[in-house]
Chain A
Amino acid sequence: MRTRQLGFLAIVLVFAIIFVFADPSSHQQPVRPGGLSTHGVNFGSGQAGTAGSLMPSNVVITTSFKANQTLSRFIVATLNVFPYQISPGTELHLGLYVNGQLASSQNYTPTGPYRTPATIVSRAGNDVANFSNSMLGFTVSDFPIGTFPPGTVVSVTAWVSKPIWVQIDPASSIHSFQTVGVASYSPVARIALDNVGTVCPSTVSIGLESNGE
């Protein structure tokens, strides 16, 4: 009888030990995150405006920026699209290049309905307009990365299968360049660091962010 009791007690203890080690809270203590930071490294366009341009289909648009700080851990590029008359089935392809070398690509098929569709507030020509305050920020990211020094050139390519309205940066001193007649898109491994095609009428707004801790 005593043997059976001790055996039962041993089983209970074994299960208790298994439970303790299976409980996530008994694992090694995770580290507290750094908190909601306002100190990211931001370069690229300011993005606060509401000016948009109709991006044509079958055109690759390339916009490049030179980083003025060290880039580390991640690079995130954002192309802003106005949720305005986006045709069903529209494909958006983004490519991210670091010093001309393909780092990442991302494809989207934007599908509505959108909670807050954008509306045109005023027009400044056939293909340029000011919109209400609603946008979709499509990202293409490279992470984790090593460290890139100031002066690193980050380029973003964009291609759409049907025209969409994208945010532009009228005050930018940077130009976007376009290559027309690209019926289907797949990102190339390398792009030139200077002019890629012809200058676009408007500079596409591209947000760029990296770690700032």
Chain B
Amino acid sequence: MANNGSFVGICVLGILTASLVLFLPVHGTAWVGNDDGEFDGGVGAPTPSYVFVQESFSTGLAWSSSPPNNLVSLQYNPDWWTSYSYQTYGDWFQTGIINYGDCVRFTVQVYSLYTGTQVWANTYPSASCLSVNQLDEYSNSIWYIQESGMNSCCDPYVKNVYFSVMSQPSYSRSYTIYPPETWKWLRSNICWCGTDSGSATFTTAGGTSQMGSNQNLYAISPPITISTAENSNMPYGQFSGSGTLSMYQSFGWPPPPPPPPPRCPPIC
């Protein structure tokens, strides 16, 4: 009987020790900068044909600093460990919109997770940037990136990436990059960040992030290992709509309250 007790104790201790190794801690409160949580298709579900992120502003975008070049970006990043384990050549397939201040460039950049070096990139336009009137100041601007062309049956590779920015309806830019059919769509997150390994300090921004697909998307815990080299102070809310075709999440800060009405003179 005593032997049985010690055996059970050894097993419990063994399981506890193994669980410390196998089940890494999950943090769910610090959703800031490059850590907004992630979205993925269901376990065993077919590969989605497309997955988009749409950032709909309700408060204009402004930042006080973003070294080294004072540029900010919207990044659509795949999970680091998933890329390392399952992406072609262990690559990391990143898409993004670079904001020069009411002027943008659209880009796809691929890095090797073995060496950290860039292995493929395509940026439009190749020189200068595309002016979009009041993109940052306008409170209802929309930023959009969609990775498409995957085939649910047997072809998980991204065939094209559609980018769009719009301030007022008459001020919009859109572009589609057709990369080599080499890289798969994998679980991803978004990042309102700096560029060139820098960290942006946003002063105002706010709105709703939407992640949509033809397959149900699920919120998963923020990654233990952050993928991108950039960061920021942008806060993100919890996801809603997990397990449906559209997930939502807030970003930024609520707009400041309107000033109080002027005090009424006593005569009225």
Contacts and interface: CB of A to CB of B under 8 A. Distances in A.
Contacts of B113: 30-31, 33
A182 interface: no
B185 to A, nearest CB: 17
Nearest to A13: B14
B112 to A, nearest CB: 8
A108 B176 CA distance: 14
A135 B175 contact: yes
B120 A74 contact: yes
Interface residues on B, range: 35 or more
B169 interface: no
Interface in B28-63: none
A198 to B, nearest CB: 27
A207 B179 CA distance: 14
A188 interface: no
B124 A47 contact: yes
Interface residues of A, number: 57
Nearest to A77: B122
Interface in A90-144: 106, 108, 114-116, 133-139, 141, 143-144
B111 interface: yes
A147 interface: no
Given A31-B116, A36-B96, A46 B176 contact: no
A27 B90 CA distance: 13
Contacts of B92: 33
Interface stretch (B201-209, B225-233, B248-256): B225-233
Given A9-B10, A39-B196, A76-B122, A115 B162 contact: yes
B122 A116 contact: no
B195 A35 contact: yes
A19 B177 contact: no
B18 A42 contact: no
Given A46-B128, A47-B126, A211-B121, A32 B229 contact: yes
A61 to B, nearest CB: 18
A78 B14 contact: no
Contacts of A16: 14, 18, 21-22
A137 B75 contact: no
B141 interface: no
The A contact surface, by secondary structure, is mixed
A31 B114 contact: yes
B152 interface: no
Contacts of B3: 1-2, 5
A45 B69 contact: no
Given A2-B3, A36-B94, A46-B126, A20 B10 contact: no
Most buried by A among B96, B146, B174: B174
A27 B84 contact: yes
A194 interface: no
Interface in B161-219: 162, 164, 172-180, 193, 195-197
A33 B123 contact: no
Contacts of A43: 126
A34 interface: yes
Contacts of A138: 178
Contact of B116 (A34, A47, A74): A34
B73 interface: yes
B64 interface: no
B71 interface: yes
Contact of A136 (B109, B178, B197): B178
6 contacts: A16-B14, A24-B85, A34-B116, A35-B229, A38-B195, A48-B128
Interface of B: 3, 7, 10-11, 14, 18, 21-22, 24, 69, 71, 73, 75, 80-81, 84-85, 90, 92, 94, 96, 98, 105, 107, 109, 111-130, 146, 160, 162, 164, 172-180, 193, 195-197, 224-225, 227-230
Query: Which 7 pairs across A and B sit closest by C-beta, in order of nearness?
Result: A35-B229, A33-B111, A31-B116, A30-B113, A47-B125, A207-B126, A42-B126
